[in-house]
Amino acid sequence: MASVYTDQPHPPSATRLASVESFRVVAMLIVVCIHANFLARLHVEGGDYGFVIDFPLYLLWWLTVPYFFLVAGYFYGQKVQGGQQPLPVLGSSCVSLLWLYLIWSAIYAVIPRHWVKAFSGGRIWQILSSDTWPAGALEQIKLIVLPWPPYYHMWFLPALMVGLTTVAIATLWRLEKRTMPLLVALYVFVIGAEVLQPRTGVEFNPIRAVSLAMFFTLLGWWVSYRRPVSARLAVSLIIGGSALAVAEGIVLKTALDLPAIRIAFYPYAGAALLVLGLFLLLLSKPTWGQHTILPALARYTLGVYVGHILIEHTLAPIHDQLPHLPIVWYVPYVITVYGLSLLLTWVLMQIPWLRALVVRDKSSPAGGFERVWLWARFRWSHARYRQS
pLDDT higher than 80, residue 208: yes
Identify the pLDDT of residue 112: 78
222 neighbors 166 (Cβ within 8 angstroms): no
96 neighbors 363 (Cβ within 8 angstroms): no
Average pLDDT over residues 62-72: 97
Identify the pLDDT of residue 268: 95
Average pLDDT over residues 175-187: 92
Q: How confident is the model at residue 47 (pLDDT cuts 50, 70, 90)?
A: confident
234 neighbors 87 (Cβ within 8 angstroms): no
Q: How confident is the model at residue 89 (pLDDT cuts 50, 70, 90)?
A: very high
Average pLDDT over residues 236-260: 92
Identify the pLDDT of residue 15: 67
Identify the pLDDT of residue 13: 43
Query: Which residues lie below 8 Å from residue 41, measured CB to CB, with a gap of 6+?
Result: 322, 323, 327, 330
Q: How confident is the model at residue 362 (pLDDT cuts 50, 70, 90)?
A: low
Distance, CA of 8 to CA of 374 (rounded, Å): 7
Q: How many alpha carbons lie under 13 Å from residue 89 in its C-beta half-sphere?
A: 31
Q: Quote helix, strand, coil % in the chain, to nearest 5.
A: 75, 0, 25
Identify the pLDDT of residue 142: 65
Identify the pLDDT of residue 11: 38
Average pLDDT over residues 129-144: 55
Q: How many alpha carbons lie under 13 Å from residue 167 in its C-beta half-sphere?
A: 38
Identify which has the larger pLDDT, 6 or 310: 310
Identify which has the larger pLDDT, 259 or 234: 234
Identify the pLDDT of residue 140: 60
Identify the pLDDT of residue 195: 76
Identify the pLDDT of residue 206: 83
Identify the pLDDT of residue 260: 83
Q: How confident is the model at residue 73 (pLDDT cuts 50, 70, 90)?
A: very high
24 neighbors 68 (Cβ within 8 angstroms): yes
Identify the pLDDT of residue 143: 64
Identify the pLDDT of residue 363: 47
Burial 73-107 (b: 16+ CB within 10 A, else e): bbbbbbbbbbbbbbebbbbbbbbbbebbbebbbbb
Chain segment 255-271, per-residue pLDDT in tens: 888 888 888 889 999 99
Q: How confident is the model at residue 290 (pLDDT cuts 50, 70, 90)?
A: very high
Distance, CA of 138 to CA of 142 (rounded, Å): 6
SS3 of residue 198 by DSSP: coil
Identify the pLDDT of residue 36: 96
| Amino acid, res. 345 | T
Distance, CA of 310 to CA of 307 (rounded, Å): 5
Identify the pLDDT of residue 263: 87
Q: Which of 127-131, 166-170, 208-212 is the least confident region?
A: 127-131
Query: Taking every pair of C-alpha atoms in the chain, what is the biggest distance, in angstroms?
Result: 79
Identify the pLDDT of residue 2: 41
pLDDT higher than 70, residue 115: yes
Under DSSP, the state recorded for 8 is S
Distance, CA of 85 to CA of 168 (rounded, Å): 10
Query: If residue 52 lies in a helix (H) or strand (E), which one and from where to where?
Result: helix 51-60
Total Cβ atoms within 10 A of residue 357: 21
Q: State percent of the chain over pLDDT 90.
A: 59
Chain segment 295-337, per-residue pLDDT in tens: 999 999 999 999 999 999 999 999 999 999 999 999 999 999 9
Identify the pLDDT of residue 16: 82
Angle at 183 between CA 155 and CA 229, to 5 degrees: 105
Mean pLDDT of the chain: 84
Distance of CA 176 to the CA centre of its chain: 23
